[in-house]
Chains A and B, each alone.
Chain A
Amino acid sequence: MALKIVKGSIDRMFDKNLQDLVRGIRNHKEDEAKYISTCIDEIKQELKQDNIAVKSNAVCKLTYLQMLGYDVSWAAFNIVEVMSSSKFTYKRIGYLAASQCFHESTDVIMLTTNQIRKDLSSPNQYDTGVALTGLSCFVTPDLARDLANDIMTLMSHTKPYIRKKAVLIMYKVFLKYPESLRPAFPRMKEKLEDPDPGVQSAAVNVICELARRNPKNYLSLAPLFFKLMTSSTNNWVLIKIIKLFGALTPLEPRLGKKLIEPLTNLIHSTSAMSLLYECVNTVIAVVWLSVLKYLGLLAMSKILKTHPKSVQSHKDLILQCLDDKDESIRLRALDLLYGMVSKKNLMEIVKKLMLHVDKAEGTTYRDELLTKIIDICSQSNYQYITNFEWYISILVELTRLEGTRHGHLIASQMLDVAIRVKAIRAFAVAQMATLLDNAHLLTGNTQHSGICEVLYAAAWICGEFSEHLEDPMATLEAMLRPKVATLPGHIQAVYVQNAAKLFSTVLCGQEGAPADSKVAQETSQLLIDRLPVFVQSDNLEVQERASCILQLVKYIQKLQQKDVEVAEEVTALFAGELNPVAPKAQKKVPVPEGLDLDAWINEPPSGSESEDEGRKTKGKAVFAREESRHTKPRYTEVDEKELAKRREVRKAEQANNPFYIKASPSSQKVRTASSPNRQLVLWMPMSDQYVKLEEERRQKNKADRKKDKKKRREKGRQRRGDSGPESEEDITPAHMVDIVTEEMPENALPINSSLTSRCITDVCDIQGNLHDGSQVVVSVIFENKCDSFIKSMEFNVMDSLNSKLQRPEGAGPHDSLTVPFHLPPGISSEARFIFSVQSIVMPQKLKGTLTFIVKDSSTHEKLDFKLHFTCTSYLITTPCYSDAYAKLLESGDLKGSSLKLEGINQPFHHLLARICFHHHFSVVERIDSCASMYSRSIQGHHVCLLVKTADQTVSIDAKCDEPGLLRNVLDEIKLTFSQC
């Protein structure tokens, strides 16, 4: 016997194994078929031997050949032999071959029943596992019938590894042998709540498959699945559950309503595209149309950020949404349009929007349309406008809107375009002259309506660029109509000043023909007649300008009567062209050599000054120290994104400011497509020499700065990344928002984990340190509770669209952050993580994991946890004086909401203290059993509370300018009191 074994092993040494076979096939490319047929002959010989190792090797090779398309059904019996081997190595190969080669008509399958049953009950879980895996591929109705009971028993096996396989294969058994479903179902349902997530997800998979075939029978499971959906953290499982609801909802319409909230939450918070897709998919199937449209648009706006092209093709669809009855859908569609415009479609989109402006009911929506049109057109420095004449006429058309609040917006656009686009001026002036002529249409009855602001722009443009006017006299006449005196003061002032400019132009034209000296005198007379109205104006500015100009004109008239030609001198009053000047123009002028701008011109008197200085520092001591304490985090925590955001905001401001022109080199010369000579003037002309000097200076500065940066990095401080010199200069500390340090120890979050007792606890102890608008600092205390050293801790959180963990530059969005310390046994330490938060209106839960290595076992351990960002944690205790408080409430900008708490039997001051402590409010005023409280969010929302108590009932009336935030804060307050 022993000899036989030895002989077998020696034989084996000369056999081909799988690797040899593969290599051989690769080496015989030309005569592959011939080579393989010799191999098959060899395999046949091997299969005849008694040695199981040789047989299993042969079967393994056959499995490979089967994949290449060779028929191996003749070896079925040998496969069963190998399957029956008691050794796992061979059994594994046998089952693999069976799962690849067997199908329902393979007759040897009948012989396997007992073998499989034996394997299923094997004490070795991997034997059982292999048998289950194999069975899943070749189960026949007979096998299903005979083994159903065994598999059902395995569903309650002690090892989750077996349980999950048994649960999954049960589905195949149900298909082949439907009678098994009824007895097995209760146990299957039980598995939905199995402690092992793998088993749970397997059960969800199976039930989802079953429910898809026959949804009616599974309606009763809806509550259980609903619970799973709202509690599960596993995207794979969530997708299946949502799919299941998609199948159930047509049968039970009430489900649809219940689903909206969790689905929208998921859509807002998930970062997984597949889950988002599934949610939207299900929403399409189950939820009614308007919600669907809204969510669809929302999803599109997300896609737009990453793939603008794909959304652009749906332009018509989105434009259709503008016709929707529902205002929120229309507003969403507007948002989308903003991102969709291009040079090609701008005019078309705006044309459509203009149609909607005409149709729109309700001024809020119309105003929204108006601002959007202007936003769309003016974005990125008029990047998409190819025809400015068209834009001016759009602006003029917009002035026909009655009762809009956005007159100044239109006005500033008119000024901006007229000043910066030289070639358009003639056209602009003509349009503005018509506007002035029809001013009565604009002002109408409502003198205080915002639209008359455009007259400000019109008057200024006509005056300043009067040389382009065709009939300056008519315009002058229009500007001096008595009705003008009813306009707001600042507009009248512009009228008066520009009437003078026009006057000079008119004189120039008239004096060209000397015969008409009389006409010129008449013009002067017109001014002398009309101006006194303005001299009597109650507006000081108007009065001053009017009287000054009136005297001037009177003097001119005198000269005219003496036949003196005055036109040239009058024109000289307004000579020179106004050019846009960039705010940083001064910096472009190099400082002449030998001039030290920091040097004192006169030495300051010494004695008194130093004393003063001393007193100042003393007085500011507290403040100064605070400053220095804040400086550090301010630099480390203002990241690139934040800066970019601020830059955007500033750009938007600049775009609306006619006297400011962007300096970035890309926009320095924006040539429009239609007319190459039409160009935005961006800089005051500067001699080439200066430009050169400036460039040299910049180069040098850049180099210096780089060196500087290096140094900083060496110090280990994290600072803003390498942005161009532009941004470096732009971001002055003045833009920074002061950091308010706020600790919130009550937000202690025990992190749920099964591992907790074993190795490590981490408690998210302080959840605050809030500062400017969009950043939250989370401090986590890690405590090592086990006896081993813990190292290589990595902290990771699944970002949602709203909240993101800030990772160092260059790290991917899913990379984990290394915790910068090791933990000896029994030690705790604190680490801080910065999150950027977009919307603070909703509370948020973020899921995360902590992986670490315990030194003794040196395996990776994992700890799942959840971070709960409550709305309260976005509030900052801010003191407020009662008069400011009253003003705030009167302003009417705040929306109200209220809350009633029953059965509170603690003293009122305790109650107030609790609200102050847990929810970061401060008491503004307290009178008996009534108190007003105030807090502010990190994004500057005001939250006001009025707390009243009587007979164990506490009522809270609250007001806030963000109703969503308020609702959530109130819910949290309610929770606080329900816990006590």
Chain B
Amino acid sequence: MMHFLLLFSRQGKLRLQKWFTPIPEREKKKIVRDMTTMVLGRKPRSCNFLHWKDLKIVYKKYASLYFCCGLDAEENELLALEVLHRYVELLDKYFGNVCELDIIFNFEKAYFILDEFLLGGEVQETSKQVVSRSIEASDMLQEVSERPRSR
């Protein structure tokens, strides 16, 4: 199971955090700090996997953003990389050539996409099409319910 997913910039600024297990606020802050220092301190071409306490940390850098997740020790690291990649693909499809700013300014959308892809730390839907279809559908619903108000 995945315990958390973090997106942060090269400067260590958190861009997105998703916790699949309830963790006290203070603990969360500590994890975020540890992850950013650990991952940012790695040399450019080093391995994408780390061990931290009893978790496996899998990270990958996409453009200026680091995608980093914490897994149970018995999980498949390569699969986690694929999960990260799939999430990037989904973001890319939604925003069209996604960049860091897209995620900063539409951070709730980034969460909505993630929620359709992962649930409770497990992959919810493996088909890209199905995920984007349900995101489109809920966006449509939002627009429909917003429209009367704007008049």
- How distant is B7 from chain A, measured CB to nearest CB, in Å? 10
| Interchain CB contact (< 8 A) of A209 among B17, B112, B122 | B122
Check: B54 CB closer than 8 A to any chain A CB.
Answer: no
B125 CB contacts on chain A under 8 angstroms: 164, 198
Complex-state Cα separation, A169 to B23, whole angstroms: 17
Q: Which of B82, B130, B137, B138 contacts A274 (CB 8 A)?
A: B82
A197 and B131 CA atoms in complex are apart in Å by 13
A92 at the interface (CB under 8 A from B): yes
Residue A243 is within 8 A (CB to CB) of chain B in the complex? yes
B74 and A132: CB pair below 8 A? no
- Contacting A at CB under 8 A, from B108-140, are 108, 111-112, 115, 119-120, 122-127, 129-130, 134, 137-138
- Is A202's CB within 8 Å of the partner chain B? yes
Chain A residues with CB below 8 A from B124, complex form: 164-165, 168, 198, 202
Q: Does B142 contact A (CB under 8 A)?
A: yes
Q: Is the CB of B78 within 8 A of A168?
A: no
Contact B108 A277, beta carbon cutoff 8 Å: no
Quick one: given A93-B108, A103-B24, A278-B76, are A198 and B142 in contact (CB under 8 Å)? no
Closest to A205 in B: B122
Partner of B25, one of A18, A63, A103: A103
Given contacts A164-B125, A197-B126, A239-B79, contact A22 B104 (CB under 8 A): yes
B108 touches A168 (CB 8 A): no
Interface string of A1-12 (1 = CB under 8 A from B): 000000001000
- Tell whether A236 pairs with B29 under 8 Å between CB atoms, given A88-B138, A132-B119: no
B124 to chain A, nearest CB (A): 6
| A239 and B22 within 8 A (CB) | no
Interface centre among A105, A205, A243, A281 (most CB of B within 10 A): A205
B145 interfacial by beta-carbon distance below 8 Å: yes
Could you tell me if A126 and B138 are in contact, using CB atoms closer than 8 angstroms? yes
Whether A169 lies near B141 (C-beta < 8 A) is no
Instruction: Say if the beta carbon of A206 comes within 8 Å of chain B.
Output: yes
Indicate if the CB atoms of A126 and B123 lie closer than 8 Å: no
- Chain A residue numbers with a CB within 8 Å of B130 are 198
Contacting residue for B76 out of A124, A202, A281, CB 8 A: A281
Question: A465 in the interface, Cβ–Cβ < 8 Å?
Answer: no
Chain B contacts of A782 at CB under 8 A?
A: none
Question: Do B14 and A88 touch (CB < 8 A)?
Answer: no
Question: Contact at A129–B104, with CB atoms within 8 Å?
Answer: no
Q: Is the CB of B119 within 8 A of A133?
A: yes
Complex CA distance for A243 and B122, rounded to whole angstroms: 14
Interface residues of A in 49-99 (CB under 8 A from B): 53, 60, 63-64, 67-69, 71, 73, 87-89, 92-93, 96
* In the complex with contacts A198-B125, A243-B74, A274-B82, A18-B119 CB distance below 8 A: no
Chain A residues closer than 8 Å to B22, beta-carbon distance: 103-104, 137-138
Given A53-B149, A93-B108: A236 in contact with B79 (beta carbons within 8 A): yes
- Is B87 an interface residue when CB atoms closer than 8 A count as contact? no
Select A126's contact among B19, B74, B141, beta carbons within 8 Å. B141
The docked-state distance in angstroms from the alpha carbon of A133 to that of B118 is 9
* Contact of A137 with B76 in the complex, beta carbons under 8 Å: no
| B108 vs chain A, min Cβ distance (A) | 6
Q: CA–CA, A131 to B29, complex, Å?
A: 26
Residues from chain A with Cβ under 8 Å of B129 in the complex: 860, 862
Q: What residues make up the interface of B, taking CB atoms closer than 8 Å to A? A: 1, 14-17, 19-20, 22-25, 29, 74, 76-79, 81-82, 104-105, 107-108, 111-112, 115, 119-120, 122-127, 129-130, 134, 137-138, 141-142, 145-146, 149
Task: State the 10 A-B residue pairs at the shortest beta-carbon distance, nearest first.
Answer: A274-B78, A136-B120, A205-B122, A133-B115, A236-B126, A168-B119, A103-B22, A89-B142, A274-B79, A126-B138
